[in-house]
């Protein structure tokens, strides 16, 4: 069972001989303020270290004329943290987008007299650009990592920052306990080496088992299934 952000703070400093905080988000005492900021720092570090599946979000847009398809990615998707590579597909044409293009390859494509049916994309100035024989009705889908790491107690609304003491983290709560504990010890001049190692151990373990591993295939292409030339698991000589 996931525990609240206040309970995370209480567990992180429990056993240190100090009074446990009774408030976190709205707390005005020095301890609450420090714990609140350190917990936010911990969450930011956890999000930076791995593309957690619980934070992955699907987005889409319909193509328009011209290169610029999304003028400002972070304004269009307010919770945008970073791009999820190799998820860009034109569902209208059943084609993958090619990219992201380097500055040189983009300029070379723009200088070319040939317009390809495939879409080449580039991220520049926080805008998404497309080059190719673009239609004004194609549906483009991709995924990105959201920075919304907490939800309300009813799990109905996600937030990028803590809103209430009863908020629940989408990230692993025990990992946040370990991360907050070593940061608190460091900020207050206490020995934090073992707490830091506990945090790193749990982080590495969680990263390793965040999602099931995709099976390896000898078949090129996007998918491997019966009837598409897949190599069987055995009976090669029969």
What is the pLDDT at residue 222?
54
pLDDT tens for each residue of 182-214: 999 999 999 999 999 999 999 999 999 998 877
| DSSP letter for each residue of 57-85 | EEEEEE--SSSEEES-HHHHSTTEEEE-T
Q: With a cut of 50, say whether residue 21 has pLDDT above it.
A: yes
Q: With a cut of 50, say whether residue 233 has pLDDT above it.
A: no
Q: Find out whether 75 and 232 touch, Cβ atoms under 8 Å.
A: no
Q: With a cut of 70, say whether residue 229 has pLDDT above it.
A: no
User: Which of residues 133 and 104 earns the better pLDDT score?
Assistant: 104
Q: Does 113 map to a domain?
A: yes
Domain that holds residue 103: 53-146
Q: Does 17 map to a domain?
A: no
101 prior amide bond cis, ω within 30 = no
Q: Does 153 map to a domain?
A: no
Q: Does 101 map to a domain?
A: yes
Percent of the chain with pLDDT over 90: 74
Count of domains for the chain: 1
User: In terms of Cα–Cα distance, which of 1, 26, 2, 13 is closest to 162?
Assistant: 26
Q: With a cut of 90, say whether residue 225 has pLDDT above it.
A: no
pLDDT category, 65, cuts 50, 70, 90? confident
Q: Does 238 map to a domain?
A: no
Query: What DSSP element (H or E) covers 169?
Result: strand 168-169
């Amino acid at each position: 069972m996931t525990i609240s952000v206040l309970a995370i703070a209480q567990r992180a400093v429990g056993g240190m001989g100090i009074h446990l905080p009774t408030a976190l988000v709205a707390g005005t005492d020095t301890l609450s303020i420090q714990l609140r900021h350190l917990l936010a720092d911990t969450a930011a570090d956890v999000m930076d270290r791995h593309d957690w599946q619980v934070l992955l979000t699907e987005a889409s847009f319909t193509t328009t004329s011209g290169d610029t398809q999304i003028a400002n990615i972070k304004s269009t998707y307010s919770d945008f943290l970073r791009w999820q590579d190799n998820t860009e597909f034109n569902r209208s044409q059943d084609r993958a987008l090619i990219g992201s293009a380097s500055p040189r390859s983009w300029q070379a494509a723009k200088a070319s007299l040939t317009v390809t049916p495939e879409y080449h994309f580039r991220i520049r100035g926080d805008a998404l650009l497309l080059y190719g024989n673009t239609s004004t009705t194609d549906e483009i889908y991709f995924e990105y990592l959201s920075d919304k790491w907490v939800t309300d107690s009813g799990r109905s609304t996600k937030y990028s920052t803590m809103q209430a003491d009863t908020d629940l983290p989408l990230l692993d709560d025990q990992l946040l306990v370990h991360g907050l504990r070593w940061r608190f010890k460091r900020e207050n001049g206490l020995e934090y080496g073992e707490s830091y190692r506990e945090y790193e151990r749990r982080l590495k373990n969680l990263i390793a088992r965040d999602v099931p591993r995709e099976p390896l295939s000898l078949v090129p292409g996007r998918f491997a299934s019966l009837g598409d030339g897949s190599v069987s698991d055995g009976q090669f000589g029969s």
